[in-house]
A and B are shown apart, each in its own frame.
Chain A
Amino acid sequence: MNNTMTIWTRKFMTNRLLQWKQMATDVLHPGKATVPKTEVPGKLVKMYKTTPHVTFVFGFRTHFGGGKTTGFGVIYDSLDYAKKNEPKHRLSRYGLYQKKNTSRK
Protein backbone atom coordinates (compact mmCIF):
# COMPACT_ATOMS: atom_id res chain seq x y z
CA MET A 1 0.00 0.00 0.00
CA ASN A 2 1.19 3.51 -0.58
CA ASN A 3 2.42 5.54 2.31
CA THR A 4 -0.84 7.34 2.97
CA MET A 5 -1.02 8.68 6.45
CA THR A 6 -3.13 11.78 6.80
CA ILE A 7 -3.42 13.81 9.95
CA TRP A 8 -6.33 16.06 10.74
CA THR A 9 -6.41 18.23 13.81
CA ARG A 10 -9.65 19.17 15.49
CA LYS A 11 -10.62 21.26 18.49
CA PHE A 12 -7.51 23.37 18.30
CA MET A 13 -7.08 25.71 21.25
CA THR A 14 -4.29 27.93 22.53
CA ASN A 15 -4.08 27.47 26.27
CA ARG A 16 -2.31 30.45 27.83
CA LEU A 17 -2.51 28.99 31.32
CA LEU A 18 -0.35 26.01 30.47
CA GLN A 19 1.54 27.76 27.69
CA TRP A 20 0.63 25.22 25.09
CA LYS A 21 -1.53 24.69 22.02
CA GLN A 22 -3.77 21.68 22.42
CA MET A 23 -5.65 19.72 19.75
CA ALA A 24 -7.30 16.42 19.02
CA THR A 25 -5.42 14.59 16.27
CA ASP A 26 -7.08 12.21 13.84
CA VAL A 27 -4.69 9.93 12.02
CA LEU A 28 -6.08 8.23 8.92
CA HIS A 29 -4.24 5.10 7.85
CA PRO A 30 -6.52 3.02 5.63
CA GLY A 31 -5.32 -0.51 5.05
CA LYS A 32 -2.39 -0.29 7.44
CA ALA A 33 -1.87 -1.05 11.10
CA THR A 34 -2.03 1.66 13.69
CA VAL A 35 0.67 4.27 13.24
CA PRO A 36 3.11 4.31 16.18
CA LYS A 37 3.19 7.43 18.38
CA THR A 38 6.76 8.17 17.41
CA GLU A 39 5.82 9.02 13.82
CA VAL A 40 2.99 11.40 14.53
CA PRO A 41 4.96 14.31 16.09
CA GLY A 42 7.03 14.52 12.92
CA LYS A 43 3.95 15.28 10.87
CA LEU A 44 2.65 17.74 13.43
CA VAL A 45 5.96 19.59 13.34
CA LYS A 46 5.61 19.99 9.58
CA MET A 47 2.02 21.17 9.86
CA TYR A 48 2.57 23.74 12.59
CA LYS A 49 6.20 24.60 11.82
CA THR A 50 7.53 24.04 15.32
CA THR A 51 10.42 22.07 16.69
CA PRO A 52 10.17 18.39 17.55
CA HIS A 53 11.17 18.74 21.18
CA VAL A 54 8.13 20.75 22.14
CA THR A 55 5.50 18.58 20.44
CA PHE A 56 4.03 15.75 22.46
CA VAL A 57 1.28 13.32 21.51
CA PHE A 58 -0.57 10.81 23.65
CA GLY A 59 -3.80 8.92 24.17
CA PHE A 60 -4.19 7.20 20.80
CA ARG A 61 -7.22 4.96 20.34
CA THR A 62 -8.01 3.15 17.11
CA HIS A 63 -11.64 3.03 16.05
CA PHE A 64 -13.42 -0.22 15.40
CA GLY A 65 -12.66 -1.59 11.96
CA GLY A 66 -9.28 0.11 11.70
CA GLY A 67 -8.24 2.93 9.43
CA LYS A 68 -8.65 5.79 11.89
CA THR A 69 -6.95 6.58 15.16
CA THR A 70 -7.75 9.48 17.43
CA GLY A 71 -5.36 10.99 19.96
CA PHE A 72 -4.31 14.23 21.55
CA GLY A 73 -1.46 16.53 20.66
CA VAL A 74 0.18 19.35 22.53
CA ILE A 75 2.70 21.95 21.35
CA TYR A 76 4.51 24.01 23.96
CA ASP A 77 5.79 27.55 23.60
CA SER A 78 9.27 26.60 24.70
CA LEU A 79 11.21 23.69 26.14
CA ASP A 80 11.26 25.29 29.61
CA TYR A 81 7.50 25.37 29.74
CA ALA A 82 7.42 21.82 28.46
CA LYS A 83 9.69 20.64 31.25
CA LYS A 84 7.61 22.51 33.79
CA ASN A 85 4.12 21.54 32.71
CA GLU A 86 4.41 18.15 31.09
CA PRO A 87 3.94 15.05 33.25
CA LYS A 88 7.10 13.09 33.84
CA HIS A 89 5.99 9.92 32.11
CA ARG A 90 5.50 11.77 28.86
CA LEU A 91 8.84 13.52 29.15
CA SER A 92 10.57 10.20 29.66
CA ARG A 93 9.03 8.91 26.42
CA TYR A 94 10.96 11.61 24.61
CA GLY A 95 14.11 11.15 26.64
CA LEU A 96 13.91 14.42 28.58
CA TYR A 97 13.54 12.77 31.97
CA GLN A 98 15.00 9.70 33.61
CA LYS A 99 13.12 8.02 36.39
CA LYS A 100 15.24 7.20 39.40
CA ASN A 101 14.99 3.51 40.23
CA THR A 102 15.58 3.76 43.97
CA SER A 103 15.07 0.61 45.97
CA ARG A 104 11.82 0.43 47.87
CA LYS A 105 13.25 -0.50 51.25
Chain B
Amino acid sequence: MALLKNLQEQVMAVTAHIQALTKKVQARAYPTEKGLSLLEVKDQLLLMYLMDLSHLILNKASGGSLQRHAAVLRLVEMRTVLEKLRPLDQKLKYQIDKLIKTAVTGSLSENDPLRFKPHPSSMMSKLSSEDEEDEAEKGQSGASGKKSANGAVKKYVPPRLVPVHYDETEAEREKKRLERAKKRALSSSVIRELKEQYSDAPEEIRDARHPHVTRQSQEDQHRINYEESMMVRLSVSKREKGRRKRASVMSSQLHSLTHFSDISALTGGTPHLDEDQNPVKKRKKVPKKGRKKKGFRRRR
Protein backbone atom coordinates (compact mmCIF):
# COMPACT_ATOMS: atom_id res chain seq x y z
CA MET B 1 0.00 0.00 0.00
CA ALA B 2 2.87 2.37 0.83
CA LEU B 3 4.27 1.63 -2.62
CA LEU B 4 1.08 2.75 -4.31
CA LYS B 5 0.96 5.95 -2.27
CA ASN B 6 4.63 6.66 -3.19
CA LEU B 7 3.79 6.06 -6.82
CA GLN B 8 0.81 8.41 -6.66
CA GLU B 9 2.89 11.18 -5.11
CA GLN B 10 5.62 10.82 -7.70
CA VAL B 11 3.13 10.82 -10.56
CA MET B 12 1.61 14.05 -9.27
CA ALA B 13 5.03 15.72 -9.01
CA VAL B 14 5.97 14.62 -12.53
CA THR B 15 2.67 15.85 -14.01
CA ALA B 16 3.10 19.25 -12.39
CA HIS B 17 6.65 19.49 -13.73
CA ILE B 18 5.60 18.52 -17.24
CA GLN B 19 2.71 20.96 -17.26
CA ALA B 20 5.07 23.78 -16.31
CA LEU B 21 7.49 22.75 -19.12
CA THR B 22 4.69 22.58 -21.69
CA LYS B 23 3.58 26.09 -20.76
CA LYS B 24 7.13 27.35 -21.21
CA VAL B 25 7.54 25.64 -24.58
CA GLN B 26 4.23 27.00 -25.77
CA ALA B 27 5.35 30.43 -24.69
CA ARG B 28 8.41 29.96 -26.97
CA ALA B 29 10.92 30.25 -24.15
CA TYR B 30 13.22 27.64 -25.83
CA PRO B 31 13.89 28.69 -29.43
CA THR B 32 15.75 25.95 -31.29
CA GLU B 33 16.03 27.31 -34.84
CA LYS B 34 19.70 28.27 -34.52
CA GLY B 35 20.68 25.19 -32.54
CA LEU B 36 22.30 21.93 -33.57
CA SER B 37 19.97 19.92 -35.78
CA LEU B 38 21.33 16.66 -34.36
CA LEU B 39 20.17 17.56 -30.89
CA GLU B 40 16.76 18.58 -32.24
CA VAL B 41 16.41 15.21 -34.02
CA LYS B 42 17.36 13.41 -30.82
CA ASP B 43 14.78 15.41 -28.87
CA GLN B 44 12.00 14.56 -31.28
CA LEU B 45 12.97 10.90 -31.42
CA LEU B 46 13.05 10.57 -27.64
CA LEU B 47 9.63 12.20 -27.34
CA MET B 48 8.12 9.87 -29.93
CA TYR B 49 9.71 6.91 -28.18
CA LEU B 50 8.18 7.95 -24.90
CA MET B 51 4.74 8.37 -26.49
CA ASP B 52 4.81 4.92 -28.04
CA LEU B 53 6.10 3.36 -24.86
CA SER B 54 3.36 4.94 -22.77
CA HIS B 55 0.77 3.78 -25.32
CA LEU B 56 2.06 0.23 -25.02
CA ILE B 57 2.09 0.38 -21.21
CA LEU B 58 -1.53 1.54 -21.27
CA ASN B 59 -2.40 -1.31 -23.60
CA LYS B 60 -0.67 -3.90 -21.39
CA ALA B 61 -2.22 -2.45 -18.21
CA SER B 62 -5.73 -2.88 -19.63
CA GLY B 63 -4.97 -6.50 -20.48
CA GLY B 64 -4.19 -6.30 -24.20
CA SER B 65 -1.44 -8.35 -25.89
CA LEU B 66 1.65 -6.74 -27.38
CA GLN B 67 2.03 -9.20 -30.23
CA ARG B 68 2.46 -7.58 -33.61
CA HIS B 69 1.45 -4.19 -32.32
CA ALA B 70 2.36 -1.40 -34.74
CA ALA B 71 3.85 0.61 -31.90
CA VAL B 72 6.42 -2.14 -31.21
CA LEU B 73 7.80 -1.86 -34.74
CA ARG B 74 7.95 1.90 -34.43
CA LEU B 75 9.78 1.55 -31.15
CA VAL B 76 12.34 -0.80 -32.66
CA GLU B 77 12.94 1.56 -35.54
CA MET B 78 13.43 4.53 -33.25
CA ARG B 79 15.74 2.58 -31.01
CA THR B 80 17.99 1.63 -33.95
CA VAL B 81 18.12 5.23 -35.11
CA LEU B 82 19.05 6.39 -31.62
CA GLU B 83 21.81 3.82 -31.39
CA LYS B 84 23.22 4.90 -34.74
CA LEU B 85 23.19 8.50 -33.58
CA ARG B 86 25.37 7.65 -30.61
CA PRO B 87 28.76 7.70 -32.41
CA LEU B 88 27.84 11.02 -34.06
CA ASP B 89 27.09 12.31 -30.62
CA GLN B 90 30.51 11.21 -29.44
CA LYS B 91 32.18 13.04 -32.27
CA LEU B 92 30.32 16.25 -31.51
CA LYS B 93 30.85 15.96 -27.76
CA TYR B 94 33.92 18.20 -27.73
CA GLN B 95 32.23 20.97 -29.71
CA ILE B 96 29.06 20.90 -27.63
CA ASP B 97 30.99 21.00 -24.37
CA LYS B 98 33.03 23.94 -25.56
CA LEU B 99 29.88 25.82 -26.60
CA ILE B 100 28.24 25.20 -23.27
CA LYS B 101 31.33 26.39 -21.41
CA THR B 102 31.50 29.53 -23.50
CA ALA B 103 27.81 30.20 -22.98
CA VAL B 104 28.16 29.77 -19.23
CA THR B 105 31.39 31.71 -18.62
CA GLY B 106 31.00 34.29 -21.37
CA SER B 107 34.57 33.97 -22.73
CA LEU B 108 37.05 31.35 -23.94
CA SER B 109 38.64 29.11 -21.31
CA GLU B 110 42.28 29.31 -20.25
CA ASN B 111 43.73 26.52 -22.34
CA ASP B 112 41.54 26.90 -25.41
CA PRO B 113 43.77 26.69 -28.52
CA LEU B 114 41.71 29.41 -30.19
CA ARG B 115 43.33 31.92 -27.87
CA PHE B 116 46.65 31.51 -29.66
CA LYS B 117 45.54 33.05 -32.93
CA PRO B 118 48.08 35.43 -34.46
CA HIS B 119 47.19 39.12 -34.44
CA PRO B 120 48.56 40.70 -37.63
CA SER B 121 47.47 44.15 -36.51
CA SER B 122 49.79 44.06 -33.52
CA MET B 123 52.66 42.95 -35.73
CA MET B 124 52.63 46.12 -37.84
CA SER B 125 55.14 48.77 -36.96
CA LYS B 126 53.66 51.91 -35.50
CA LEU B 127 56.86 53.96 -35.98
CA SER B 128 58.26 55.34 -39.25
CA SER B 129 62.03 54.81 -38.86
CA GLU B 130 64.78 52.87 -40.73
CA ASP B 131 64.37 49.26 -41.87
CA GLU B 132 66.42 47.60 -39.11
CA GLU B 133 64.46 49.26 -36.39
CA ASP B 134 61.29 48.43 -38.24
CA GLU B 135 62.05 44.73 -38.30
CA ALA B 136 63.13 44.69 -34.69
CA GLU B 137 59.94 46.53 -33.76
CA LYS B 138 57.86 44.09 -35.79
CA GLY B 139 59.45 41.14 -34.05
CA GLN B 140 58.97 42.64 -30.62
CA SER B 141 55.45 43.87 -31.12
CA GLY B 142 54.52 40.55 -32.65
CA ALA B 143 55.80 38.66 -29.65
CA SER B 144 54.28 41.06 -27.20
CA GLY B 145 50.99 41.02 -29.13
CA LYS B 146 50.82 37.25 -28.79
CA LYS B 147 51.75 37.38 -25.16
CA SER B 148 49.04 39.87 -24.34
CA ALA B 149 46.50 37.63 -26.07
CA ASN B 150 47.68 34.66 -23.97
CA GLY B 151 47.21 36.36 -20.70
CA ALA B 152 49.99 35.65 -18.21
CA VAL B 153 53.43 34.68 -19.56
CA LYS B 154 53.81 30.93 -19.22
CA LYS B 155 56.90 29.07 -18.10
CA TYR B 156 59.07 27.81 -20.96
CA VAL B 157 58.65 24.07 -21.38
CA PRO B 158 61.38 22.58 -23.61
CA PRO B 159 60.20 20.18 -26.33
CA ARG B 160 60.47 16.52 -25.48
CA LEU B 161 62.93 15.29 -28.07
CA VAL B 162 65.52 12.64 -27.43
CA PRO B 163 68.93 14.06 -28.23
CA VAL B 164 71.30 11.76 -30.07
CA HIS B 165 75.01 12.09 -29.72
CA TYR B 166 76.61 13.32 -32.89
CA ASP B 167 80.33 12.58 -33.14
CA GLU B 168 81.69 15.51 -34.97
CA THR B 169 85.36 14.93 -34.48
CA GLU B 170 87.45 12.50 -36.42
CA ALA B 171 88.86 11.21 -33.14
CA GLU B 172 85.48 10.04 -31.92
CA ARG B 173 84.73 8.33 -35.18
CA GLU B 174 88.10 6.63 -34.97
CA LYS B 175 87.34 5.51 -31.45
CA LYS B 176 84.06 3.95 -32.52
CA ARG B 177 85.72 2.16 -35.38
CA LEU B 178 88.35 0.85 -33.03
CA GLU B 179 85.76 -0.43 -30.63
CA ARG B 180 83.98 -2.29 -33.38
CA ALA B 181 87.22 -3.80 -34.59
CA LYS B 182 87.99 -4.93 -31.05
CA LYS B 183 84.63 -6.62 -30.77
CA ARG B 184 85.18 -8.38 -34.05
CA ALA B 185 88.66 -9.45 -33.02
CA LEU B 186 87.46 -10.87 -29.73
CA SER B 187 85.11 -13.24 -31.50
CA SER B 188 87.63 -14.32 -34.12
CA SER B 189 88.89 -17.89 -34.32
CA VAL B 190 92.38 -17.10 -32.99
CA ILE B 191 91.13 -15.63 -29.77
CA ARG B 192 88.48 -18.29 -29.40
CA GLU B 193 91.03 -21.07 -29.65
CA LEU B 194 93.28 -19.35 -27.12
CA LYS B 195 90.34 -19.10 -24.76
CA GLU B 196 89.56 -22.77 -25.18
CA GLN B 197 93.16 -23.67 -24.53
CA TYR B 198 93.52 -21.75 -21.29
CA SER B 199 90.06 -21.94 -19.79
CA ASP B 200 89.07 -24.71 -17.40
CA ALA B 201 85.55 -25.01 -18.75
CA PRO B 202 84.76 -28.29 -20.51
CA GLU B 203 84.89 -28.35 -24.28
CA GLU B 204 81.50 -27.87 -25.87
CA ILE B 205 80.61 -29.66 -29.06
CA ARG B 206 77.48 -28.13 -30.48
CA ASP B 207 75.40 -29.55 -33.22
CA ALA B 208 76.44 -26.99 -35.76
CA ARG B 209 73.75 -26.02 -38.18
CA HIS B 210 76.28 -23.72 -39.64
CA PRO B 211 78.98 -22.13 -37.50
CA HIS B 212 79.07 -18.98 -39.58
CA VAL B 213 75.50 -17.90 -39.98
CA THR B 214 76.20 -15.28 -42.57
CA ARG B 215 73.81 -12.64 -43.70
CA GLN B 216 73.59 -14.30 -47.07
CA SER B 217 72.59 -17.66 -45.64
CA GLN B 218 69.97 -15.99 -43.48
CA GLU B 219 68.55 -14.19 -46.47
CA ASP B 220 68.52 -17.40 -48.45
CA GLN B 221 66.63 -19.15 -45.69
CA HIS B 222 64.13 -16.31 -45.56
CA ARG B 223 63.66 -16.49 -49.30
CA ILE B 224 63.12 -20.25 -49.21
CA ASN B 225 60.54 -19.94 -46.44
CA TYR B 226 58.66 -17.28 -48.35
CA GLU B 227 58.66 -19.29 -51.57
CA GLU B 228 57.36 -22.41 -49.90
CA SER B 229 54.62 -20.73 -47.97
CA MET B 230 53.42 -18.56 -50.86
CA MET B 231 53.90 -21.30 -53.49
CA VAL B 232 55.64 -18.95 -55.90
CA ARG B 233 59.13 -18.74 -57.32
CA LEU B 234 60.86 -15.38 -56.91
CA SER B 235 63.27 -14.13 -59.54
CA VAL B 236 66.85 -13.47 -58.51
CA SER B 237 68.34 -10.19 -59.61
CA LYS B 238 71.87 -9.88 -60.96
CA ARG B 239 73.05 -8.20 -57.81
CA GLU B 240 71.62 -10.99 -55.71
CA LYS B 241 73.26 -13.60 -57.91
CA GLY B 242 76.61 -11.87 -57.54
CA ARG B 243 76.25 -11.75 -53.78
CA ARG B 244 75.41 -15.41 -53.60
CA LYS B 245 78.33 -16.38 -55.78
CA ARG B 246 80.71 -14.33 -53.69
CA ALA B 247 79.39 -15.84 -50.48
CA SER B 248 79.73 -19.37 -51.78
CA VAL B 249 83.20 -18.76 -53.17
CA MET B 250 84.38 -17.30 -49.91
CA SER B 251 83.11 -20.16 -47.83
CA SER B 252 84.34 -22.89 -50.10
CA GLN B 253 87.91 -21.69 -50.49
CA LEU B 254 90.83 -22.92 -48.45
CA HIS B 255 91.38 -19.24 -47.78
CA SER B 256 90.18 -19.62 -44.25
CA LEU B 257 92.95 -22.10 -43.46
CA THR B 258 95.81 -19.73 -43.85
CA HIS B 259 94.27 -16.28 -43.42
CA PHE B 260 93.41 -15.38 -39.88
CA SER B 261 91.21 -12.53 -38.87
CA ASP B 262 92.63 -9.20 -37.93
CA ILE B 263 93.25 -8.96 -34.18
CA SER B 264 95.36 -5.83 -34.34
CA ALA B 265 92.62 -4.03 -32.47
CA LEU B 266 93.63 -5.95 -29.37
CA THR B 267 97.37 -5.99 -29.95
CA GLY B 268 97.63 -2.38 -30.95
CA GLY B 269 99.37 -2.94 -34.26
CA THR B 270 98.46 -1.52 -37.65
CA PRO B 271 95.27 -2.95 -39.12
CA HIS B 272 95.64 -4.82 -42.36
CA LEU B 273 92.54 -4.49 -44.48
CA ASP B 274 91.08 -7.85 -45.24
CA GLU B 275 89.83 -7.58 -48.81
CA ASP B 276 87.04 -10.06 -48.32
CA GLN B 277 85.30 -8.17 -45.57
CA ASN B 278 85.11 -4.76 -47.16
CA PRO B 279 83.25 -5.37 -50.43
CA VAL B 280 80.21 -6.81 -48.65
CA LYS B 281 79.94 -3.81 -46.38
CA LYS B 282 80.65 -1.13 -48.90
CA ARG B 283 78.18 -2.53 -51.36
CA LYS B 284 75.35 -2.12 -48.90
CA LYS B 285 76.11 1.49 -48.07
CA VAL B 286 77.08 2.89 -51.44
CA PRO B 287 74.27 4.75 -53.19
CA LYS B 288 74.02 4.71 -56.95
CA LYS B 289 75.22 8.28 -57.31
CA GLY B 290 78.58 8.03 -55.60
CA ARG B 291 79.40 4.59 -56.87
CA LYS B 292 82.11 5.67 -59.29
CA LYS B 293 84.11 7.56 -56.72
CA LYS B 294 84.06 4.87 -54.11
CA GLY B 295 84.91 2.23 -56.64
CA PHE B 296 87.99 4.14 -57.56
CA ARG B 297 88.99 4.50 -53.93
CA ARG B 298 88.57 0.82 -53.30
CA ARG B 299 90.83 -0.13 -56.16
CA ARG B 300 93.55 2.01 -54.74
Contacts and interface: CB of A to CB of B under 8 A. Distances in A.
A24 B228 contact: yes
Contacts of A70: 228
A72 B233 CA distance: 10
A42 interface: no
A71 B228 CA distance: 9
A10 B231 CA distance: 12
Size bracket, chain B contacts? under 10
Contacts, number: 15
Max chain A C-beta neighbours (<10 A), residue from B227, B229, B231: B231
B233 A22 contact: no
Size bracket, chain A contacts? under 10
Contacts of B227: 59
Contacts of B233: 59, 61
Nearest to A59: B233
Interface string B70-111: 000000000000000000000000000000000000000000
Contacts of A24: 228, 231
Nearest to A74: B231
Contacts of A59: 227, 231-233
Interface string B249-281: 000000000000000000000000000000000
Interface string A59-95: 1010000000010101000000000000000000000
